[in-house]
Amino acid sequence: MALLKTSHFTRILLSGGRHAGFVRPSAFNFASNASEPHISKKWDLVSSVCVERNPIITADLTDIENKMQIFLSKIELEQSKKSDHELRKERDKITVDALKKGNASEADLEQATKATAQDFEDASQDEFAKFTFASRKNDPTIDEDARNIKRHLSKHLVLLTQQKVGSDSVWLLPQSVRKEGETMRQTADRALVEAVGENFRSIVLGNAPVGFYKYKYPKDVRDKRGVEGAKVFFFKAIYQEGEASCKDFVWATKEELGKKTKQDYFKSVDQFLLF
């Protein structure tokens, strides 16, 4: 069989180009790409605070919850032990029977002069009858007032403030752009004070954010500032006391939050809401 002769150039290709003065095209392209400068876009770092007002009263039970509560109460009653009050009533009955039969001891006579368990029960019933329960339902005007902290007593509420993004006014959680030297938590604390004033009290939970969202600024803002947009880090806070001093704010239910904010923004916030 005749052997095939190979040219000098073919031998270079078969050897992977490892020959003096020869550079593989792939290596040349890699070197060219590596020399190109990588221009990263500038973004604002923003801390935003989700201030939540917890429910003041428990929510109304559903039909299935009511049935379950009645069922469990029956089981608990059947399996329960007698209370101190019930045992005291039994002792009082024994004392009364002994007095009627004339077999009462000095201890029984002394016990008979004290208030009985039945006396305590009657007094408790009288006091309970005088007690007036607070209404579980607000006046409709309170629930309709979006700025009232006492609206929708059985629901979670979230604080929203109206802020400028470019030339548009949008509803957002209180937020502020990070300043040089600040931690993101410090920016979150400052954002709250700037948004609702110093008389507003809340507790920020931890130093780590609980959510993230980013959005681009309008084109005129990008061109003017040279900033692509904002990367928003959400912090969670629980309302304590005080009134918001800003002009445009609302205490929104989850349903209202979804209607007032943009869909993708609401999705990011909804990921860390626990209600």
Report the mean per-residue pLDDT for the chain.
86
So where are the chain's domains? Answer: 43-57+154-270
Q: What pLDDT digit, counting tens, does each position of 54-104 carry? A: 999 999 999 999 999 999 999 999 999 999 999 989 988 888 787 777 776
pLDDT at 9: 44
pLDDT at 248: 93
pLDDT at 109: 61
pLDDT above 70 for 28: no
Per-residue pLDDT, averaged over 145-149, amounts to 96
Pick from 1-10, 159-168, 204-213: least confident: 1-10
Dist CA 76 CA 79 (whole Å): 5
Q: For the domain with range 43-57+154-270, which CATH number is right: 3.40.50.300, 3.40.50.970, 3.90.79.10, 3.40.720.10?
A: 3.90.79.10
Q: What pLDDT digit, counting tens, does each position of 167-204 carry? A: 789 999 999 999 999 999 999 999 999 999 999 999 99
pLDDT bucket at 111, cuts 50 / 70 / 90: low
pLDDT at 165: 78
pLDDT at 104: 65
